Amino acid sequence: MIDKHIIAFGGDGFYTEPENTLTARFLLGLTGLSKPRICFLPTASGDSESYVQAFYTRYTKELCNASHLYLFRREVKDLRSFLLSQNVIYVGGGNTANMLAIWRVHGVEAILREAYEQGIVLCGTSAGALCWFECGLTDSFGLDLAPLLDGLGFIAGSNCPHYDTEERRQPQYHRYILEGLPGGYASDEGAAVHFVNGEFREAISSKPGARTFYVRREGNGVVETPVTVRFLGQG
């Protein structure tokens, strides 16, 4: 049986800590290859060139064979062959709703489902974390946070990134869970949740003290349960 991995980061620090390769080494290590192929999808940021460059700053030639895929200005003819030739697909942050719409227009959603079934490691930060779940909390629709209800659904339940750096995240996530949003995982910047074959495996972090919680409704209230987080660095 092929193991199917998804890793969802509450924030992965491309811009703030480009030299921190802890998560890169963890993701690439899941492939079991010495220099795996990894592709960055910057769709949610509108194919931001600076974001792509930040990705290459972390995912260097010494670690892997890195590439990117633009959809706003297509450079790849056969998206399916290109994506299915990767060992890891990393999805960047930005506007989750816009990203999902663009993926669906270009047929990327169906390709990602194939990639998942083939055991290609799928991961991402912010929008690139939320997208793998059924639903979650997003700022995609305007200035206010709101539920996103049409995620890819590879993972059951909801997701909330940026739990410690955006003060509205926690109260709004609690609010919508009380109103019926399925429970799920909320992660700080630097923390991530790792799923194998659709089941939670562990929480990891590249930043000491970064937290993850499982948040659910219980009766008329919300229960926030801390999840043990394994720091990928020393001590």
The answer to whether residue 158 is domain-embedded is yes
Query: Is beta strand 199-205 parallel, antiparallel or unpaired with respect to 37-41?
Result: unpaired
Owning domain of residue 204: 5-230
What's the number of domains the chain is made of?
1
Cβ-count burial of 3 within 10 angstroms (0-12 exposed, 13-18 middle, 19+ buried)?
exposed
Name the band, by pLDDT with cuts 50, 70 and 90, for residue 1.
Answer: confident
Residue 179 inside a domain? The answer is yes
User: Annotated active-site positions, please?
Assistant: 126, 162
CB 55 within 8 A of CB 67: no
Q: Would you say residue 162 lies in a domain?
A: yes
Q: 27-42 as b/e, with b when 16 or more CB fall inside 10 Å? A: bbebbeeeebbbbbbb
pLDDT at residue 104, as a whole number:
98
Residue 201: pLDDT over 90: yes
Which DSSP state fits 44? G
Using pLDDT thresholds of 50, 70 and 90, give the confidence band for residue 18.
Answer: confident
Q: Is 152 helix (H, G, I), strand (E, B) or coil?
A: coil
- As a residue count, the chain comes to 235
Compute the average pLDDT of residues 51-80.
96
Instruction: Return all residues near 89 (Cβ < 8 A) that are at least 6 apart.
Output: 38, 39, 41, 83, 112, 115, 120, 121, 122, 123
Is residue 235, in this structure, part of any structural domain at all? no
Measured CA distances, 80 to 38, 152, 180 (Å):
15, 17, 36
pLDDT confidence of residue 5? 98
Residue 164 within a domain: yes
CATH number of the domain residue 146 falls in: 3.40.50.880
Residue 235 pLDDT exceeds 60: no
pTM over 0.85: yes
Q: Is residue 68 a part of any domain in this protein? A: yes
Per residue in 137-162, pLDDT tens? Answer: 999 999 899 999 999 999 999 999 99
Give the residues across from 8 on adjacent strands.
Answer: 124, 193
Among candidate residues 83, 88, 91, 89, the one with its CA nearest the CA of residue 128: 91
**pLDDT tens-digit profile of 162-198?**
999 999 999 999 999 999 999 999 999 999 999 999 9
Pairing mode of beta strands 221-227, 212-218:
antiparallel
Q: Give the CA-trace dihedral at 45, 134, 182, 162, to 10 degrees.
A: -20
